[in-house]
Amino acid sequence: MITWQSVLETKRFIETDGAAEAVHRCFERIKQNDFNSFITLNIEDALSMAERASGGRLCGVPIAIKDNISTRGIQTTCASKILTGYIPPYNATVIERLKREGAVIIGKTNMDEFAMGTSTETSYYGAVENPWDAGCVPGGSSGGSATALAGGEVPLALGSDTGGSVRCPASFCGVVGLKPTYGAVSRYGLISYANSLEQIGPMATTVADTALLFNIVAGYDQRDSTSVNKQFDTTEPLDMKGMKIGVPEEYFGEGMSSVVEKAVWNAVHSFEDLGVEYKEVSMPHTKYSLAAYYIIAMSEASSNLARFDGLRYGYHAEEGDCHTSFSKTRAEGFGDEVKRRILLGSYALSAGYHDKYYLKSLKVRTLVKKDFEAAFKTYDMLLAPTMPYPAFKLGEKIKDPLSLYLADVNTVPINLAGVPAVSVPCGFENKLPIGLQLIGNFFDEKTILQAAHNFENSTDFHNRRPGGE
């Protein structure tokens, strides 16, 4: 059975066997794996697209799309009951750009409901299994996209990252995931969870493929008011000799696995071998990031999710008058975690508490951003663990929301600041992948991607596959 590992290998297969056969093999692999990585498979349309593929940088190459990115004609649910049967009448900007380059959309991947989670266990369509260990979580919220890559189902995938939702599953599944600078990739067509934090992010099994996908989807979009008018090209090689790297002390805190810490420091020394100088740096406001992030994210979620009433699309509970029906629709349509965040966000925004919680969190966000700005005056990039530990067991933390929130301690500061970060494999603990996070200055995706590429070429972690494939 073919297992897709890179775009180059996929293109070679397409040259000899054709794009339609490549797509057919994807669906065979998905069926064989049964990781529950997809919510909706786009079988007929994908085969038709493959047969018509005739040009572009991704001509005939299969790609998986997270189920909170709008795809015209393909059900888009955000893994929630409340959007059951919703078929968008338009494509997200990133989908339009992918289609122009000849990519073939295989289907919509499973995720934490409305991207709220760290384990892809809150999905209405069931939990996703990690290909390295079916008893472990794949990370979240883009767990389906990461699993599809690690399981060899597709060579490329899109996720979204609000507080680590691309980088966490990339770390847990041993693949590459980029959270771009806020404004680098259009958010038009991304179903909003927290507007000021989220970005669509490319995922792949190699850094080169991640960079290629970023170059395709990035760039200005007049339909997105948060989009920045910049051109991106991350392909030019980077000479790392003389570069300075900062290692934030606060990212090695309580609860971190000693094996993860050792693997990350080994990676730092690997960069030394590439000619890089490093020094530990303090980012003092990191300790406030998690609390500030969750207040801001939940507040924005409570506002964004108010639009889901069951009257225009999706699930609708037929009962009594419109007020009763509205309440019942949302009570039945949203899962526990989504309802928890709506309630907490509504509380933080309520009269008498807005200044105490939400406004104070925005002030903390500014301080976190200033920490990064100060660090990048001296250092070209920062290195840190992506996650404090490898993938945990399914069901281990889902009943304890606070422990799940704490897992995001190393990823949420990046979203608060709006800077880019990429997670790459850097080791293993008990045969489960460990992720290294390379954090860059605003709109400097090139530096972190090229540095990650150089690290990848000097190690073999990216070549390992679940089951020894």
Amino acid identity for residue 27 in this structure: F
Q: How far is CA 439 from CA 167, 192, 376, 446, 456, in A?
A: 11, 24, 10, 11, 16
Comparing CA positions, the residue from 243, 246, 174 lying closest to residue 450 is: 243
The CA distance from 4 to 22, in Å, is 9
Catalytic residue among 66, 108, 397, 446: 66
Contact 209, 58 (CB under 8 A): no
Catalytic residue among 80, 119, 123, 141: 141
Torsion of CA 449, 447, 256, 202, to 10 degrees: -30
Query: 3-state secondary structure string, 443-469?
Result: CCHHHHHHHHHHHHHCCCHHHCCHHHC
Distance (Å, rounded) from C-alpha 212 to C-alpha 446?
A: 11
Q: Could you give the CA distance from residue 140 to residue 116 in angstroms, rounded to a whole number? A: 8
48 among known catalytic residues: no
Active-site position among 37, 70, 123, 165: 165
Task: Tell me, yes or no, if 141 is annotated catalytic.
Answer: yes
H or E stretch including 33?
helix 19-33
- Is residue 115 within 8 A of residue 68, CB to CB? The reply is yes
Pair of tokens at residue 115: 């991207």
DSSP bridge pairs for 245: 278, 381
Classify each residue of 283-308 as buried b or exposed e, where b means 16 or more C-beta atoms within 10 Å of its C-beta.
Answer: bebbebbbebbbbbbbbbbbebbeeb
Ramachandran assignment for 379, one of left (phi > 0), alpha (psi -120 to 50 degrees), beta (any other): beta
Count of C-beta atoms within a 10 Å radius of residue 52: 12
66 as an active site residue: the answer is: yes
State the catalytic residues. 66, 141, 165
